[in-house]
A = this chain, B = another copy of it.
Amino acid sequence: MDRQTLTDALAQDRAERHHFEGLEYVRLTEAVGGHPRGSVVLPGGAVIRGYPSIGRIHSLASGLRQQFQEPFWAEEKIDGYNVRVVFHEGRAYAFSRGGFVCAFSTDRLPDLLPPGVFEREPDLVLCTEIAGPDNPYLEGSPPFVTEDVQLFVFDMMRRGQPGFLPQNEKMRLIEELHLPATRIFGRFLPTDAAALRDLIRQLDGDGAEGLVLKAEFGDTRSKYVTGRSNIVDIGVCSAQLLDLPPEYFTNRLMRMAMFVHEHGQQEDPDLERSLGRAFLSGLERAVAGSRTHGRVDHRYRCRFREHRNALHFIAHMAATGGQRVHILPDMPREEGGYWVLEFERVFDRMTGTLATAFSGATQFD
């Protein structure tokens, strides 16, 4: 990005200057010069493009033919958070969807990626999902990551070049560089709805989140999630029922209903019970929190290699955390060669509503 465009974007509040230790960078808070929001401009002007939103299809039957005119690849969609990993002046950085350096992810890169990747491919941008129970952002994690976090590469870009690398080049680099990657289920045609139907039912049974479908050439992508993933999300988040946008829940209920219809799962008692339990178990956690210690919250735990990165992360939470975050006392705490950080997010509306209700006060609705 040329200097004038960047200067104008900063002046117009379409971009913000940040730094992470010695790295000075700019993140785009709005689209600028063809680069989407979330893009990052490194010193010298190289742009790391923001990762685009991927549209969702709700029906395999109609969605495949509508979205794809050519072969596409089906890959696993993983329930984590998206970071772009970039090499700059001898060091790898992980940038969040919004374009911030993520101090946690950056700290853990030596654990999550094999050595030597960027020495061989310094201009590679790895688009990855980080998932697992000990992550500082999400309550849920996939069943196959049972501790700490793991990283899964699912797309690649090259710095300063538009678009994603073609599928075959990505697959070659994953193999050559020994990169951890999302599962790739194969190449399909828009007429392969039956095969994809079998695949998504298999994933539904395994507790996977769903599929991302990627055109073999070009950047066309769609996602399609399992019915059960909606129930999992509701179960994880129903303790925050009043603190999340209501669309969080209504969107998942709609997706669930369309999945049930398309896959003939109507009146399945196990599914019905799972959905009811997803709401009631999370709400019971909230009610129990309110009754036992007067607030509804969730405890997060993650660990850092470097003490100073834990402090960077805490500073970032303090600067950006819309939700109330409480770092637990004596954190970060050394444990097994890492610095463990535990903190709580308090769900204010749940806390207030339940406190009022159990006080015996009346509510009007």
Contacts and interface: CB of A to CB of B under 8 A. Distances in A.
Classify chain A's interface size.
Answer: 35 or more
Contacts of A57: 360-362
Interface string A336-365: 000000000000000001100111111111
Interface stretch (A72-80, A172-180, A251-259): A251-259
Contact of A365 (B56, B266, B283, B284): B56
Interface in A241-296: 241-242, 246-247, 249-251, 253-254, 256-258, 260-261, 266-267, 269, 271-281, 283-284, 286-288, 291
Interface string A220-259: 0010000000000000001001100011011101101110
B272 A358 contact: no
The secondary structure that dominates the A interface is helix
A91 interface: no
A320 interface: no
Contacts of A283: 253-254, 256-257, 260
A202 interface: no
Contact of A269 (B238, B241, B273): B273
B246 A358 contact: no
A65 interface: yes
* Most chain B beta carbons < 10 A, residue from A62, A65, A250, A274: A250
A363 B276 contact: no
A67 interface: yes
A300 B112 CA distance: 60
B55 A247 contact: no
B276 A261 contact: no
Nearest to A265: B280
Interface of A: 53, 55-59, 61-67, 222, 238, 241-242, 246-247, 249-251, 253-254, 256-258, 260-261, 266-267, 269, 271-281, 283-284, 286-288, 291, 353-354, 357-365
Pairs of residues from A and B, 7 with the lowest C-beta to C-beta distance, nearest first: A55-B362, A66-B360, A246-B246, A62-B360, A257-B283, A275-B276, A276-B276
